[in-house]
Amino acid sequence: MKKTILITWWLGYIWSHAVVAFEKAWYKTIIVDNLINSSLGILNWIEKIIWYKPDFFEVDLKDREGLEEIFKKYDFDWVIHFAWLKAFWESTTYPYMYFENNIYGTMILLDIMDRYGVHDIVFSSSASVYDESNTPPFTENMKLGTTNPYATSKLVVENILKDYSKQKWFRSAILRYFNLIWAHSSWNLWDFPRSNHWSLASNIFDVVFWKKQKLYIYGDDFPTPDGTAIRDYIDVCDLVDWHVLAFNWILDQKKWIWDTWNLWTWSWLSVKELIEVVEWITWEKLSTEVIARRNIDLAIPISNPEKAEKELGWKVKISTVDSMKNAYNFLLNTRKKNESTKKERVVHFVPYFDPHSGWVEMYAKEWAENYVGLWWKCLIATFSGWQKEWNRLENWYDVIVLPAFDIVHSFPFPMFWMPSFWIWLWKIKKWKADIIHTHTRFFLSSFIGWIFAKISRIPWIHIEHGSGFVVSSSKLIEKVSKWYDYSLWKWTLKNAMEVITVSEACEHFVYSEFGVKKTRTIYRGITPTPTSVIKSNTEINIWYVWRLVSLKWVDFLLNAFADFMQKYTWEKKVKLNIVWDGPDRKKLEKLSESLGISKNVTFYWLIPVTKVREEFLPSLHIFINPSLQEWLPTTVIEALISWSSVIATDVWWTREILRYAQFLLVAPRSVKAISLAIEQSVNSIDTKSTSNIPVSLFSWEQTFREFWEVYNLIK
C-alpha cells in the first residue's frame, strides 16, 4: 500500500519536482499551496511527466480550519514542509510577512500534525543559518547565526522542531542547502516564480535568450581566485532525491529524533566559471558587467556534505554541466514552440491616455510602443471627458477614445447610454484581441474591460498600480472608494486569470487586503536614453520631476530647500528645478516667493519625457522625490541610471529600489530630514556616492519576457 505524504506549498519549481520524485518512488502525495508564488498551470506540466494530476488543495498554512479539513480526509504517514517565502532581499523589506508566514504557519502545521498523530517531518531548511564567521566548508556542528529575516525564520523553525522532537515525540529530518539549478530532464518543469526573485541561473539564460540584456556580476573583489563569489550548485532533481532518502532514514529510526544534514555536491564554481559553462554549452559569448557587491553576499558560502553521504547514502547523480544543459534545452525547446505561433494582439483598457499626463497613461503608452516594436499588435481603449471620441493610429498601435465625462476630478465615467459608446466597443471586438489588460482597480475602465473580456471570452489580465487605498482631501471620496474596493472590485479582481502588480509592495497589498492570490510582480520597463550631456561645474542642479499635486509634497521640498539655503556657504550657485505641472502649481510658486528662494527656484511647464531623459536627468546633480505616496517611482530609477545622487522619502515601494542601488532614504513629512539629506548630498557632490542601478532589471525586454511567460501559462 502506498504511503501518504502531505507536501506543503508544492507548485513552485522545487516542490513540483518533489511531487514527481515521490510519486515515482511509489508514494501518494497530497499537496497544499496558497498560490502566492506559484500557479495552477504547473499542474499541467506535472501531468505530462507522471500522466495524472495529484490531489491538490488551495489552502494557506495559517488557515487552521482549512488545513484541519485536509487532515480529517487523509491518513498521513509523513509531512514534507516546503511552505516558505524565500527571498533574502524581500525579507529585509517585509520582515513581519516572513515571520508570520514562515514561523506562525509552521506552528499551526505542527499543532495539527500532533493532534492527528502525524509525527514524522522532513523540513527544507537553508545553509544561510550558518554564522558568517565560520570558515567554509561548513559542517553541521558549526556556529549558527543569521543576517536577514529569511534565514532567521529558518533557524527559528529548526529550533522549534528540535523542541517538538524532545517534547512531542517527533522524528524530524532537517536538510540545509543553498544554490539550485533547475529544469526537469523531461523539459516540462522550470522555475517561474510570481515575484522578482531571480537566481543566477535564471539571469544567465535571460542573456542567452534575450539578447539586449546584460548579466550583472555583483562584485569581482572577493577573496577568490577570479574575484567572484564561489557557490556550490545543486540540481533540483538531486535535491528532491535527498528528501526521499531522508524519509527512508526516518523509517529506520526506533526513537524520537532530530537531526540535520548539509546537501552539497563538492562541485564548487565561481560566478565567472558558471558563466563559462553556459558559454561552452551555448557556443555564445555572454554580455556581462561587474557592479558593486551586495552587503549580504558571502565569498564562499559552501558546506561539507560528508555526513549526508555517510548517513543517508546520497551521491550526486547530475553534474552542474548537465543541469545547465537541461535548463538550456528546456528554454530552447519552449522558445521554438512559441516562435512558431503568432504573437498576441493585446487591448489595454485605461481611464486616460496621452496627451493626458499620469502614471497609468505613461505606462500604457510606453508599453504599447515597446510591445509593437518588439512583438506584435496593441490597441489602447481609453475614456475621456475632454477629448472627442475617435480612433487614431499612433506609432503603429491603435487608440480608441470612448465617450465619457469626469464625474469627479480625474475619474472618467463612461457614457454608456450613447449609441457611439457601443459602436466603439463593437469595433474593439472586431479587432479580435487575444489578451485584455486593464489598469488600476478603482477606475471604471477596468470594470468595463473585465465585462468586455468575459462577454467576448478573451483571457483577462489586470495590471494593478496602487499599493494602498485612495488618499484624498475629501473624506467622502476616501470612504466611497474603500467601499468600492472591498465590495465590487474585490469580487471582480478574483475573476482575473492573473493579476500583474508593478511592485512587490503592491503585490503584498493586493494579497493582504483583498485575498487575491493570483498575483505576480512585473516591473515596468524603462528605456534609458544615451546622452553626452555634461554636468555643470559652476552650479549645482537639484531637480524634482513629476506632477504638482498635494500627495507629492513639493511644499515640503520647498521648505526644506529654504532651510538648507539659510545654512549654505559654498561659492557654487544652487538651483532647485521643478519640472511638470498640476493643480498646486500657483500655490507652490507663491510659497517659493514667501520663503525668499524664488531666485534659486525655477518652475518648468510640461516637458516631453524624451527631453527630460535626454537633457534634464543627465545634467542634474541631485534628484529629490519628497512624495508621501508612491508606487514604483521610475523617476528615481531613471535618475540613478544617469549617475545622479538621489534623495527619496521612505514610502511604499521606494525601498525596493535599495536592493539594486544606494541612495538616501529619508523619513516622509519631515522638512528637517530632507534639508539634512540635501546638505549631505551637496557636501559629497564631487564624490560618486550613488551606485549605478542594473538597467536590465527594469528593461522592457525583461518586462515582456515575463509577460510572455504569463501568456503561455494562461493559454
Q: Verify whether residue 568 is a known catalytic residue.
A: no
**pLDDT value, residue 37:** 57
Identify the pLDDT of residue 650: 81
Phi, psi of 458 (to 5 degrees): -115, 135
For residue 252, how many other CB atoms are within 10 A of its CB?
A: 6
Q: What is the pLDDT of residues 610-661, one digit of tens each?
A: 666 666 666 677 888 888 766 667 777 777 776 668 888 887 667 777 777 7
At 671, the pLDDT band (50, 70, 90 cuts) reads confident
pLDDT at 527 over 50: yes
The region of weakest confidence among 164-178, 522-536, 652-666 is 522-536
CA 409 to each of CA 365, 406, 412, 447: distance values in angstroms, whole numbers, following the listed order: 22, 6, 8, 19
- pLDDT band for position 193 (50/70/90)? very low
| Dihedral pair phi/psi, residue 171, rounded to 5° | -110, 110
Question: Which position has the grid cell 515515482?
Answer: 24
Asked if pLDDT for residue 424 goes beyond 50, the answer is yes
> Could you say which of 150, 164, 328, 363 is catalytic?
150
Please compute the mean of the pLDDT values over residues 25-43 and round it to a whole number.
Answer: 66
CA separation for the pair 566, 672 (Å, rounded): 13
> Which span out of 212-221, 229-238, 557-566 was modeled with the highest average pLDDT?
557-566
Lowest mean pLDDT of 435-439, 563-567, 609-613, name the range.
Answer: 609-613
Task: Name the nearest CA neighbour of 140 among 243, 260, 306, 232.
Answer: 260
Most confident of the following: 132-141, 329-338, 464-473:
132-141
Per-residue pLDDT at 43: 62
Report the pLDDT value the prediction gives residue 231, as an integer from 0 to 100: 82
- The answer to whether residues 297 and 217 touch, using CB atoms and an 8 Å cutoff, is no
Give percent of the chain with pLDDT exceeding 70.
76
Instruction: Give the Cα-Cα-Cα angle 378, 379, 380 (nearest 5 degrees).
Output: 125
Query: Mean pLDDT over residues 447-456, rounded?
Result: 91
- Give strand pairing partners of 543: 577, 623
Q: Answer whether residue 260 shows pLDDT above 80.
A: yes
Pick one of 3.40.50.280, 3.60.10.10, 3.40.50.1970, 3.40.50.2000 as the CATH number of 539-698: 3.40.50.2000
Question: For the chain, how far is it from start to end, CA to CA, in angstroms?
Answer: 37
Give the DSSP H/E element, type plus range, for residue 109.
Answer: helix 105-115
599-613 tens-digit pLDDT? 888 887 766 666 666
Pairwise pLDDT comparison (487 vs 402), residue with the higher score: 402
Q: What's the one-letter identity of residue 137?
A: P
Directed axis angle between helix 42-50 and helix 13-24, to 10°? 20
187: left (phi over 0), alpha (psi -120 to 50) or beta: left
Confidence category of residue 387, pLDDT binned at 50, 70, 90: low
The predicted pLDDT at position 450 comes to 92
> What topology is assigned to 345-525+699-714 in CATH?
Rossmann fold (3.40.50)
Rounded Cα gap, residues 86 and 277, in angstroms: 26
For residues 47 and 184, the answer to whether their CB atoms sit within 8 Å is no
- List, for residues 331-376, the tens digit of each pLDDT value: 777 665 555 555 788 999 998 887 777 778 888 888 888 887 666 7
Contact 542, 561 (CB under 8 A): yes
For the stretch 66-124, pLDDT in tens is: 889 989 888 888 888 876 676 666 777 778 778 888 898 899 999 999 999 888 898 88
The residues, any chain, with a CB within 8 Å of residue 628's CB and separated by 6 or more, are: 471, 551, 552, 553, 649, 651, 668, 669
- Where exactly are the structural domains of the chain? 3-336, 345-525+699-714, 539-698
- Predicted confidence at residue 158, as pLDDT, reads 93
Q: Please give the pLDDT value at position 12.
A: 47
Pairing, β 78-81 against β 288-291: unpaired
DSSP assignments along 302-331, one per residue: -B--HHHHHHT-----S-HHHHHHHHHHHH
Report pLDDT for 597: 84
**Residue 295 neighbours by CB distance under 10 Å:** 8
CA 178/CA 233 separation, integer angstroms: 8
Give the pLDDT score at 184.
46
Q: SS3 letters for 153-217?
A: HHHHHHHHHHHHHHHCCCEEEEEECCEEECCCCCCCCCCCCCCCCCCHHHHHHHHHHCCCCCEEE
Report cis status (omega within 30 of 0) of the bond before 403: no
β-pairing verdict for 411-414 and 435-439 = unpaired
**All cell numbers assigned to 122:** 522532513
The answer to whether 450 and 461 have CB atoms below 8 angstroms apart is no
Decide which of 64 and 191 is more confident: 64
The DSSP annotation for 643-654 comes to T-EEEEE--GGG
Report the pLDDT value the prediction gives residue 715, as an integer from 0 to 100. 66
Q: Give the strands of the sheet with 179-181, arranged side by side.
A: 179-181, 230-235, 268-270
Is 345-525+699-714 the same fold as 3-336?
A: yes
pLDDT of 348 reads 94
Q: Residue 657: what residue type?
A: I
pLDDT band at 24 (very low <50, low <70, confident <90, very high): low
Q: CA-to-CA distance for 14 and 37, rounded, in angstroms?
A: 12
Predicted local distance difference test score (pLDDT) of residue 449: 93
The predicted structure's pLDDT at residue 426: 92
Mean pLDDT, the chain, as a whole number?
77
Of 3-12, 164-173, 267-276, 483-492, which gets the smallest average pLDDT? 3-12
Query: How many C-beta neighbours within 10 Å does residue 73 have?
Result: 11
Higher pLDDT among residues 457 and 393, named by residue: 457
Residue 187: what pLDDT?
A: 40
pLDDT for 159 beyond 90:
yes
How would you class 385 by CB atoms within 10 Å of its CB: exposed for 0-12, middle for 13-18, buried for 19 or more?
Answer: middle
What would the grid cell of residue 184 be? Answer: 526537469
Q: Which residues pair with 676 in a beta bridge?
A: none
Selected from 3.40.50.720, 3.40.50.2000, 3.40.50.1000, 3.40.50.300, the CATH number assigned to the domain covering 3-336 reads: 3.40.50.720
The pLDDT value recorded for residue 155 is 93
The set of cell numbers assigned to 172 is 524530524
| Higher per-residue confidence, 84 vs 221 | 221
Of residues 405 and 188, the one with the higher pLDDT is 405
Q: Please state, in angstroms and rounded to a whole number, the distance separating the CA atoms of residues 34 and 56.
A: 11
pLDDT band at 10 (very low <50, low <70, confident <90, very high): very low
What's the pLDDT at 342? 59
pLDDT tier, 390 (very low <50, low <70, confident <90, very high otherwise): low
Per-residue pLDDT, 61: 82
| The pLDDT value given to residue 26 | 59
